[in-house]
Amino acid sequence: FNAFHPDTRKPMHRECGFIRLKPDTNKVAFISAQNTGLVEVEEGEVNGQELSIASHSIARISFAKKPHVEQITRKFRLNSDGKLEQTVSMATTTQPMTQHLHITYKKVTP
């Protein structure tokens, strides 16, 4: 994922990772590293057109900015228009679990 400032189009948050399926189950693991110094391992399940995961492990670089993320949940859903939606909620050292992001992705071909 790559996020850009909506007005200036300046690059902001970036993350790269993997989704791994547990064979013969609907269980999944999501592993990602972010340019902010955060590394996540999330686990959950696929049910129909929806993937729901929650943080299992979170690590960060020693000089990461506060507040620190303590919990994350993500929900990916293929909507009726065939577009992928993602909702991310998180809890930090200063905020309870709150929706942080909701996005609908648009497929872009190079």
The predicted structure's pLDDT at residue 94: 97
Q: Which residues of the chain have pLDDT under 70?
A: none
Considering the four listed CATH numbers 3.30.460.80, 2.40.50.100, 2.40.128.20, 3.40.50.720, the one that applies to the domain covering 2-105 is 2.40.128.20
For the chain, what are the domain ranges?
A: 2-105
The predicted structure's pLDDT at residue 13: 84
Which sign, positive or negative, has the C-alpha torsion 59, 62, 64, 66? positive
